[in-house]
A and B are shown apart, each in its own frame.
Chain A
């Protein structure tokens, strides 16, 4: 019974049920190429979600990361094109650092000016996106111009299979990147004092201050990591779709926050886990992607996401109320 008390177990159970249901509606769901495709769609959103998890754990909310991700990817690729640089590591480091720097602005305003995170991140998101589109540029960089090194890197597959009709499909190696990031965040949250301070701040910020945590450090780590992960995921996304679009990720914040909440994180802070987040992301991506398989028009995607957010949050409220009783 104890295992059912854990929200991860509940989410996993719901996830399995949903998979069975979708599989019944269309058995093609279980085809390996569909599953591989599903995993691939998890990578970018998943990495961003891990950043959002940190922010939610600390009791905040972040709606600025899609803008940060777009800015990081676009600036990095612009820089690569300008210099003719053809590496992989360098660009990812640069994109990560760009995201990190933006995250530091969030941290400054949330911690020093004590302003509600939602309003701060609405502001920084709008600033960064406005700057990107207004100053840097609005034109997409498509496959002809994209640095080949990035595309080749993102094309790496772990296993490759051949369809009966001769076409090939594979499981992207980027899932390893996702796994590594998830493991790192898990270790950070579980085994470092900084990680525990994030839970502590989210639980009771005043008590955390009295106990002697340095809240400035904690907030810097939270928002900088969220920004860095967004920047990293942004460039990864662009490498995977062979396109650098400064208008990318508009509206993605809702999906990602929904996924993290779906994964059992509390909007009030202090509760949530990496495993739950991974499951939540998988659930959201699966439901969205499976609409096509279930022969539902894609225009319904947002309706479905909206309903999921409402139902999931209502369920969390209900759970918390029961816990208190």
Chain B
């Protein structure tokens, strides 16, 4: 039997007393495509950093080619052929493709001077190895994400890599680009290089990998050949919960159907979305899914006044609108919880109170002077209502857990009397317990307060459980509408897979 290329044996790691990993064992065989699956915050990135020598494990051992390597450093890890491609690629946008590719080699060989002809030759060979064609003189910053990724992969392979670790490589890719990436990954494998594919997207894992390891809350849950898994079993392993056959049932009030809350008719923004028509009634939760680049975020931004220049008709509670600014959108009751909570949603160093009240200060101010008692009282009540775990609203929001942070962002919009709530990836990076709680809150808001919710998500079970309708979007258009009550997760998954 062959020796594993790299093997982690009962690795444990703590940060400031908090357990990040416990007893994790993981073996990667030469030339295999291995998937490391887990939700955000499950410990995936800690494992990557231990393999690449960035972190030292507190317990357990790391073996490379069958030999224990105590105190693995980044340099040693690279010397043993481990290369990591981080999500941000670590490329230089202001330098050319050729130079980005050649820099590592020059540094490794401890060169002092640059031989530009050599740089180009080296770069050309690196790209040939992947059988891709890129302009060597293009600035990397001007390339699309997929192009940057290719440069990052080519660069990693230049240093005699034996194991390529890719951290969430498909996050910003279109389906087409994902296919191209998978071709490259198979190509790499044929050259005898192992690939560790770190992801939380089930469809992709099932498609690309040969073996699969699932971790949850810092522990390994299960490991085995990919063929033994299906989406349901991976989800169960990742979340620790059975997929409950739960649905959100929207019951229109007796009598006449209520007036529509949000109406889109033929909404078009060239290059982003086309001819979108959709009606949301009070109390409805409509799911929206589609691949990256489907135009779903552009649509959300248009509804929130951040994308202007669209044509078509938009009405809220019957009133025709042309939203030209976020303020206008908020005034008409639109609220948006952005995709990236940390960079777009929160003011990390500021207090929970300020984060919650950010959008409603003006409402509670006279001549710009804030009515402090009123505002503090509102915040206090919101902390209680949303079950935000904190002793005081003065605590910086950055110290809360992901789930609590997301509640703060949602609470912000409840304070503005939102009528249409757009959630983009509402539970990304939220732990399982909080996730269920956030779902419960969202359903409650729709059911009891009559909010219309538009939930954009990649998480199929999330959509099926929380929405009464699901709309699929592709290449800027709505391609299908499903009644969630009569749809299973498998069906939605298959439909999404079919969108190419």
92-121 of chain B: CB within 8 A of chain A:
92-95, 99, 103-104, 106-108, 111-114, 116
A193 at the interface (CB under 8 A from B): yes
- Secondary structure type dominating chain B contacts: loop
Q: A196-B103, A211-B104, A211-B107 are in contact. Are A204 and B114 (CB under 8 A)?
A: no
B95 contacts A203, CB within 8 Å?
A: yes
Bound CA span A190–B108, Å: 19
Closest to A192 in B: B113
A197, chain B: closest CB distance, angstroms: 9
Chain B residues whose CB sits within 8 angstroms of the CB of A40 once the complex forms = none
A200 at the interface (CB under 8 A from B): yes
Chain B residues whose CB sits within 8 angstroms of the CB of A203 once the complex forms = 92-95
Chain B residues whose CB sits within 8 angstroms of the CB of A192 once the complex forms = 112-114
B106 contacts A193, CB within 8 Å?
A: yes
Chain A residues whose CB sits within 8 angstroms of the CB of B90 once the complex forms = 204, 206-207, 210-211
B91 at the interface (CB under 8 A from A): yes
Chain B residues whose CB sits within 8 angstroms of the CB of A323 once the complex forms = 142
Chain A residues whose CB sits within 8 angstroms of the CB of B112 once the complex forms = 192-194
B74, chain A: closest CB distance, angstroms: 9
Chain A residues whose CB sits within 8 angstroms of the CB of B108 once the complex forms = 212
Question: Count of chain B residues with Cβ under 8 Å from any Cβ of A?
Answer: 20
Query: Which of these, A190, A212, A270, contacts B94 with CB under 8 Å?
Result: A270
Chain B residues whose CB sits within 8 angstroms of the CB of A211 once the complex forms = 90, 103-104, 107
Bound CA span A208–B92, Å: 8
Closest to A57 in B: B94
Closest to A190 in B: B114
A204 contacts B93, CB within 8 Å?
A: yes
Query: Which of these, B92, B99, B116, contacts A207 with CB under 8 Å?
Result: B92
Closest to A212 in B: B107
Closest to B155 in A: A211
Query: Which of these, B91, B95, B111, contacts A193 with CB under 8 Å?
Result: B111
Closest to B78 in A: A212
Chain B residues whose CB sits within 8 angstroms of the CB of A193 once the complex forms = 106-107, 111-114
Q: A191-B114, A192-B112 are in contact. Are A202 and B94 (CB under 8 A)?
A: yes
A271 at the interface (CB under 8 A from B): yes
197-219 of chain A: CB within 8 A of chain B:
199-200, 202-204, 206-208, 210-213
A170, chain B: closest CB distance, angstroms: 38
B94 contacts A199, CB within 8 Å?
A: yes
Chain A residues whose CB sits within 8 angstroms of the CB of B104 once the complex forms = 211-212
Closest to B103 in A: A211
A202, chain B: closest CB distance, angstroms: 7
Most chain B CB neighbours (cut-off 10 Å) among A194, A207, A270: A207
Closest to A268 in B: B94
Bound CA span A200–B107, Å: 13
Query: Which of these, B86, B103, B107, B113, contacts A191 with CB under 8 Å?
Result: B113
Chain B residues whose CB sits within 8 angstroms of the CB of A196 once the complex forms = 95, 99, 103, 114
Chain A residues whose CB sits within 8 angstroms of the CB of B93 once the complex forms = 203-204, 270
Bound CA span A212–B75, Å: 9
Chain A residues whose CB sits within 8 angstroms of the CB of B88 once the complex forms = 207
Chain B residues whose CB sits within 8 angstroms of the CB of A202 once the complex forms = 94
B144, chain A: closest CB distance, angstroms: 13
Query: Which of these, B107, B111, B114, B116, contacts A213 with CB under 8 Å?
Result: B107
Closest to A195 in B: B114
Chain A residues whose CB sits within 8 angstroms of the CB of B103 once the complex forms = 196, 200, 211
Chain B residues whose CB sits within 8 angstroms of the CB of A206 once the complex forms = 90
B95 contacts A200, CB within 8 Å?
A: yes
A sample of 18 inter-chain contacts (CB < 8 A) reads A192-B112, A193-B106, A193-B107, A193-B114, A194-B112, A196-B95, A196-B99, A196-B103, A196-B114, A199-B95, A200-B95, A203-B92, A204-B90, A204-B93, A206-B90, A207-B91, A212-B104, A323-B142
6 more CB-based (< 8 A) A-B contacts, given A207-B90, A211-B104, A212-B108: A193-B113, A196-B114, A207-B91, A211-B90, A212-B104, A270-B93
- What are the nearest 3 A-B pairs in CB distance? A270-B94, A207-B90, A203-B94
